[in-house]
């Protein structure tokens, strides 16, 4: 049986407070709602467009390492 840590290492989504951190291929994204994604340049949530409308710049601004994503979500939860 997997340990809790091993299960967490294999997760594709975390819920921390009211936010979700989701695996997006190579990096992670932070969601407030199903379609609102955290943008690090705006330091706020923005509507996530359909995949065909996502630019490289959009992906760069909305993808994080898991450590970065958890830090951001912890900070966002402090401000709720």
pLDDT in tens, 14-61: 898 899 999 988 899 999 988 899 999 999 999 999 988 999 999 999
Per the structure, how many domains does the chain have?
A: 1
Range(s) of the domain holding residue 50:
4-78
Instruction: Kindly report the three-state secondary structure assignment for every residue of the chain.
Output: CCCHHHHHHCCCEEEECCEEEEECCCCEEEEEECCEEEECCCCEEEECCCHHHCCHHHHHHHCECHHHHHHHHHHHHHCC
> What's the pLDDT score for residue 24?
87
pLDDT of residue 79: 81
């Amino acid at each position: 049986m997997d340990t809790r840590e091993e299960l967490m290492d294999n997760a594709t989504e975390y819920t921390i407070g009211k936010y979700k951190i989701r695996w997006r291929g190579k990096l992670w994204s932070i969601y407030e709602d199903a379609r609102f994604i955290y943008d690090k340049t705006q330091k706020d949530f923005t509507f996530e467009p359909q995949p065909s409308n996502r630019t490289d710049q959009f992906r760069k601004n909305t993808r994080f390492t898991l450590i970065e994503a958890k830090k951001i979500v912890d900070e966002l939860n402090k401000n709720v």
